[in-house]
Amino acid sequence: MYNNIGKKIKGLAVFFAWLGMIGSIIYGIIMLMQGVNYGSDAMSGLGLLLMVAGSVISWLSSWVLYGFGELIENTAKIAAQRQTVSDAAAPAALKLLCANCGAELPDDTAFCISCGQRVE
């Protein structure tokens, strides 16, 4: 559910930007038409202002959300990369081998568990 949250936030930002722009334009047109109907310049002006300013504000404010999504996405990418690097860089556990028979031995053993040879 929270996988790829950065991408989801970015999608949400785009969605809200469109919603805000379309909403502002539709509502602005309605106000403009009503203003024209009632012969009210103030209302028409307000409708026009809402169309332009509402769209711009929706667009600009979506940047913040989009940027936040981008930030999370990149952070997740970096974290994933770091994880991969540290996994690769982690030294394989050094295995102790018997000099006589080549059997793998536990770290703390003094004698080979396979052939009984003293481990140095």
CB of 106 to Zn ion, least distance (A): 13
Q: Which of residues 60-119 bind Zn ion (CB under 5 A)?
A: 98, 100-101, 103, 112, 114-115, 117
Q: Examine residue 17 and tell whether it contacts Zn ion (CB under 5 A).
A: no
Q: Which of residues 22-51 bind Zn ion (CB under 5 A)?
A: none
Q: 104: exposed, middle or buried (C-beta count within 10 Å: 0-12, 13-18, 19+)?
A: exposed
- Helix then strand then coil, in percent of the chain rounded to 5, is 70, 5, 25
- The residue count for binding Zn ion (CB under 5 A) is 8
Q: Which residue has the tokens 């540290």?
A: 86
Question: Which helix (DSSP H) or strand (DSSP E) does residue 30 occupy?
Answer: helix 5-37
Closer CB to Zn ion, 82 or 118, in the complex: 118
Q: Which residues bind Zn ion (CB under 5 A)?
A: 98, 100-101, 103, 112, 114-115, 117
